[in-house]
Chain A
Amino acid sequence: MLTKQLGDILQFVEKLGELNTDGVEPTYSVVPVSNVMREDEEKPSFTQEQALSNAPEKDMGFFKIPKIME
Chain B
Amino acid sequence: MDIVNLSAFELATAIKAKKLSSKEATSAFLKRIEETDGTVKSFLSVNTSALKEAEQRDAELASGKSGPLYGVPVAIKDNMCLKGSKTTCASKILEDFTAPYDATVIERLKAQGVVFLGKCNMDEFAMGSSTENSAFHTTTNPWDSSRIPGGSSGGSAAAVASRQAPLALGSDTGGSIRQPAACCGIVGLKPTYGRVSRFGLVAFASSLDQIGPFARNTEDCALLMNAVSGYDPKDSTSINRDSADHTAGLKDGVKGMRIGLPSEYFEKDPSAEGVKSVLEAAKVFEKLGAKVEKVSLPHTDYCLAVYYIIATAEASSNLARYDGVHYGFRDKDAKNLRDMYNKTRGKGFGSEVKRRIMLGTYVLSAGYYDAYYLKAQKVRTLIKRDFENVFKNFDLILTPTTPTPAFKIGEKVSDPIQMYLSDIFTISVNLAGVPGVSVPCGFSAGGLPLGLQLIGKPFEEAAMLRAAYAYEQATDWHKRMAPVK
Contact = CB atoms under 8 A, between A and B. Distances in A.
B378 A31 contact: no
Nearest to A21: B378
Contacts of B481: none
Contact of A26 (B100, B237, B378): B378
Most chain B beta-carbon neighbours within 10 Å: one of A19, A56, A65: A56
Contacts of A27: 377-378, 380-381, 384
Nearest to A11: B417
A13 B337 contact: no
A50 B99 CA distance: 10
B8 to A, nearest CB: 30
Contacts of A36: 236
A8 B415 CA distance: 10
B308 interface: yes
Contacts of A70: 336
Contacts of A65: 325, 337, 340
A68 B334 CA distance: 11
B328 A56 contact: yes
Nearest to B368: A10
A32 to B, nearest CB: 9
Nearest to B339: A66
Interface in B322-348: 324-330, 334-337, 339-340
B327 A55 contact: yes
A25 B97 contact: no
Contacts of A25: 378, 381
A14 to B, nearest CB: 8
Contacts of B327: 54-56
B358 A24 contact: no
Interface in B298-316: 299, 301-302, 304-306, 308-309
Contacts of A10: 359, 362
Nearest to A18: B302
Contact of A19 (B308, B324, B382): B382
B349 to A, nearest CB: 13
A64 to B, nearest CB: 9
A24 B233 contact: no
A42 B465 CA distance: 41
Interface in A1-41: 2, 5-6, 8-10, 12-17, 19, 21, 24-31, 33, 36, 38
Contacts of A46: 100-101
Nearest to B309: A13
Contact of B337 (A24, A63, A67): A67
Contacts of A66: 334-337, 339-340
A26 B381 CA distance: 6
A68 B325 CA distance: 13
27 contacts: A5-B416, A6-B358, A9-B416, A9-B417, A10-B362, A15-B302, A16-B306, A16-B309, A16-B375, A16-B379, A17-B375, A19-B302, A21-B382, A24-B381, A26-B374, A26-B380, A28-B377, A30-B432, A30-B433, A36-B236, A54-B98, A54-B328, A56-B325, A56-B330, A66-B336, A66-B340, A68-B337
For the complex of A and B, list the 10 residue pairs with the smallest distance between their C-beta atoms, beginning with the closest.
A30-B433, A26-B377, A54-B327, A56-B330, A36-B236, A21-B378, A13-B305, A27-B380, A24-B378, A27-B381
